[in-house]
């Protein structure tokens, strides 16, 4: 019998956001309010092998398991697994947000399916770059919806009044065309439409240029009316040149969470859409989003994902600057905030056992409406879905909701020449790696990264042959391929260290192979989903902004001196 160590605070929630409604009582052992299933768990004392907190203090338990070890993976298989979901791109100049050269991202699942999400996009009308990581719990539905929709809300909130009016005019024209009929709605229908003499309906107004895979059709269809209603209300408010970045981020986060809540309450034309809306609202996710525009970096955070800035010191070493605070019971300011928002009689129950109401790890999150709705509203929704009478669905000591918010904490940083990269990651990385180690690894990776050979020029003076094309493609592929086991993508390097790190901090190849060989239903017992994106900054652009700001300040000082002398 093998005994496995499992983190109490990270037990895998089920994919169904309402596990309690299936006959399994809610247990405080679940990390985000879900039940782990039908296993019986027992506390176990685990020795301190980490040098920081004991595993028992970190919330580990032991679980018996009858399972034979999987066959070992060879190095090629290990590299293949680690690089399956890696992504990187060099941004075109007009989509950089002014100071971001490239994006490097990776994801390694522990849950099946993975509950994390990641997105990156440029706001087409304002030029700012948005990058986000989203950590779902109780399933992936909420994280999927937020990753698809949030950037559209942010982009809308940043728009000036005249652009919002143009967007609404385009939407009205599209709506009128739909009402007239004779339009093909989807690009896949274009051929059929031409055969029937139908015209192709133009796409709705675009707000974003996505980098990497764009969100699916959900954001473009079922929820487009919610976004349109949002920008119509912004038009009514007439904010002139648009909200500032800080206010836009706060407004967008709160409004999307409100729309997710409302959509779970209203009737839908199709039952499947109603079920999806409720799954989105009853599951949850944290979010960490960076907005870069010129020298200004804003980070909006809800939950326990983090953003860290990699700073090169004068001596060439690396320093890690935290850009976020965890929203959890380990943050004394968060606990004080929660206690101040509820009556004194709830002082001992609002945060209990290191969790919100003894159940939820993050103290801020999207979705999770059972920590936001009144008991009466929850009963009504449960009645409509056929789950009436399931009293144990409600959290204990639930007296004065809402207990949970999606209002983000905003950090602003003005980029300097020494600020070389930003790492955004879900807690699956930060649970096992310190921010200073993360920054050191990425910094050293950038320092030793082999320079890419320039693309070979096309042959001149003769026609290009197939052999020439093949040789060029092979040369470019070789230039982009990892060499000698080196991870070209710094995000992949961090995943390798997070999963394969030994007791002394380095990567142990045998341990890495064993961890990656774990079956899907066992991987979650050892670690969480890991999702991260590294933003490599344009230090030369930051230097130009820095010098320009300094010159302006000196000019202002001279003007002040002249006025005083006058």
| Mean confidence (pLDDT) of the chain | 80
Contact 420, 536 (CB under 8 A): yes
Q: Is 129 helix (H, G, I), strand (E, B) or coil?
A: strand
SS3 130: strand
> pTM of the entire structure?
0.79
Measure the CA–CA gap between 337 and 509, rounded to whole angstroms. Answer: 44
Q: How many residues does the chain have?
A: 566
- What pLDDT does 161 receive? 95
Short-list 113, 111, 105, CA closest to 86: 105
Q: What's residue 232's pLDDT?
A: 94
Over residues 53-72, mean pLDDT? 44
> Mean pLDDT over residues 534-551, rounded?
86
Instruction: Give the model confidence (pLDDT) of 6-48 as tens digits.
Output: 333 333 333 333 333 322 223 333 334 443 332 323 233 333 3
pLDDT tens by residue, 221-272: 668 889 999 999 999 999 899 899 999 999 999 999 999 999 999 888 888 8
138: which DSSP letter? S
- What are the structural domain ranges in the chain? 1-66, 339-361+369-403
- pLDDT, tens digit, 9 for 90 and up, residues 272-312: 888 899 999 999 999 999 999 999 999 999 999 999 999 99
Question: Given 3-state DSSP classes, what are the helix, strand and coil percentages for the chain, each rounded to the nearest 5?
Answer: 40, 20, 40
> Is 494 exposed, middle or buried, given 0-12, 13-18 or 19+ CB atoms closer than 10 A?
buried
The answer for residues whose C-beta is within 8 angstroms of residue 400's C-beta and 6 or more apart is 342, 343, 346
Weakest mean pLDDT among 143-147, 435-439, 559-563: 559-563
Residue 92's pLDDT band (boundaries 50, 70, 90)?
Answer: confident
Taking the C-alpha atoms of residue 512 and residue 499, their distance in angstroms, rounded to an integer, is 6
Of the two residues 468 and 552, the one the predictor is more confident about is: 468
Number of continuous H segments (helices) and E segments (strands) in the chain: 17, 19
**Residue 184 clears pLDDT 90, i.e. is over it:** no
Across 168-182, 213-227, 452-466, the highest mean pLDDT is recorded for: 168-182
Least confident of 104-108, 218-222, 327-331, 477-481: 477-481
DSSP collapsed to 3 states, 391-441: HHHCCCCCCCCCCCECCCEEEEEECCCCEEEEEEECHHHHCCCCHHHHHHH
Measure the CA–CA gap between 200 and 181, rounded to whole angstroms.
11
Q: What is the dihedral of CA 268, 271, 272, 274, to 10 degrees?
A: 40
Query: Is 216 within 8 Å of 148 (Cβ atoms)?
Result: yes
Q: Which residue has the higher pLDDT, 502 or 217?
A: 502
* pLDDT beyond 70 at 370: yes
Q: Model confidence at 181, in pLDDT bands (50, 70, 90)?
A: low
Do 288 and 253 form a contact (C-beta atoms < 8 A)?
A: no
Distances (CA, A) of 506 to 296, 433, 499: 35, 11, 11
Q: What is the DSSP string of 343-365?
A: -GGGTTTSEETTEETTTBSBSB-
Which residues, including other chains, have CB under 8 Å from residue 483's CB and lie 6 or more apart? 450
In angstroms, how far is the first alpha carbon of the chain from the final one?
A: 89
- pLDDT score recorded for residue 555: 55
The pLDDT assigned to 509 comes to: 92
Q: Report d(CA 559, CA 566) in Å as an integer.
A: 10
- Rounded to whole angstroms, the Cα distance separating 479 from 524 reads 36
Whole-number pLDDT of residue 97? 78
Question: Tens digit of pLDDT for each residue in 461-518?
Answer: 667 788 777 777 766 555 444 444 578 999 999 999 999 988 877 899 999 999 999 9
DSSP label at residue 458:
P
Query: Which residues lie closer than 8 Å to 318 by C-beta, 6 or more apart?
Result: 310, 311, 312, 436, 439, 440, 443, 444
Task: Give the pLDDT confidence of 400-448 residue by residue, as tens digits.
Answer: 999 999 999 999 999 999 999 999 999 999 999 999 999 999 999 999 8
């Amino acid at each position: 019998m093998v005994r496995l160590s499992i983190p109490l605070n990270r037990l895998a929630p089920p994919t169904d956001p309402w596990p309690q409604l299936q006959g399994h009582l809610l247990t405080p052992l679940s990390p985000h309010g879900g039940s782990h299933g039908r296993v019986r768990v027992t506390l176990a004392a685990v020795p301190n092998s980490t040098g920081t907190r004991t595993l028992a203090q970190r919330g580990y338990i032991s679980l018996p398991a009858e399972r034979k070890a999987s066959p070992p993976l060879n190095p090629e298989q290990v590299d293949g697994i680690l690089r399956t979901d890696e992504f990187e791109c060099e941004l075109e100049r007009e989509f950089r947000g002014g100071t971001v050269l490239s994006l490097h991202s990776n994801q390694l699942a522990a849950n099946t399916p993975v509950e994390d999400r990641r997105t990156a996009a440029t706001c087409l009308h304002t030029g700012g770059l948005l990058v986000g990581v989203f950590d779902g719990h109780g399933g992936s539905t909420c994280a999927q919806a937020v990753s698809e929709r949030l950037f559209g809300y942010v982009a809308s909130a940043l728009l000036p009044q005249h652009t919002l009016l143009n967007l609404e005019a385009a939407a009205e024209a599209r709506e009128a065309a739909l009402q007239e009929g004779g339009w093909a709605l989807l690009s896949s229908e274009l051929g059929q439409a031409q055969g029937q003499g139908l015209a192709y309906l133009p796409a709705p107004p675009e707000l974003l240029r996505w980098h990497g895979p764009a969100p699916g059709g959900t954001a473009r269809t079922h929820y487009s009316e919610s976004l349109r209603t949002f920008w119509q209300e912004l038009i009514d408010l007439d904010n002139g040149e648009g909200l500032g970045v800080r206010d836009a981020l706060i407004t967008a986060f709160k409004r999307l969470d409100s729309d997710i809540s409302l959509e779970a309450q209203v009737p839908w034309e199709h039952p499947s859409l109603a079920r999806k809306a409720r799954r989105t609202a009853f599951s949850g996710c944290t979010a960490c989003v960076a907005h870069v525009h010129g020298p200004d970096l804003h980070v909006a955070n809800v939950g326990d994902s983090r953003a860290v800035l990699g700073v090169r010191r004068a001596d060439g070493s690396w320093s890690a600057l935290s850009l976020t605070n965890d929203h959890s019971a380990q943050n004394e300011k968060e606990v004080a905030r929660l206690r101040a928002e509820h009556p004194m009689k709830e002082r001992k129950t609002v945060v209990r056992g290191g969790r919100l109401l003894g159940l939820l790890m993050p103290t801020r999150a999207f979705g999770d409406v059972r920590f936001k709705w009144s008991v009466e509203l929850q009963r009504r929704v449960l009645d409509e879905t056929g789950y009436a009478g399931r009293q144990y669905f409600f959290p204990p000591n639930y007296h004065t909701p809402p207990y949970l918010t999606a209002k983000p904490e905003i950090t602003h940083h003005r980029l300097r020449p020494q600020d070389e990269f930003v790492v955004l990651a879900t807690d699956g990385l930060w649970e096992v790696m310190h921010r200073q180690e993360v920054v050191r690894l990425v910094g050293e990776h950038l320092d030793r990264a082999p320079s890419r050979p320039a693309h070979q020029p096309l042959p001149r003076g003769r026609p290009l042959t197939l052999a020439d094309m093949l040789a060029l493609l092979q040369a470019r592929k070789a230039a982009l391929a990892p060499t000698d086991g080196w991870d070209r993508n710094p995000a992949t390097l961090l995943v390798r260290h997070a999963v394969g790190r030994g007791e002394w901090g380095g990567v142990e190849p045998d341990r890495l192979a064993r961890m990656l060989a774990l079956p899907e239903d066992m991987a979650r017992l050892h670690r969480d989903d890991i999702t991260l994106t590294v933003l490599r900054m344009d230090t030369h652009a930051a230097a130009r902004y820095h010098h320009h700001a300094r010159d302006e300040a000196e000019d202002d000082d001279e003007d002040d001196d002249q006025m005083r002398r006058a």
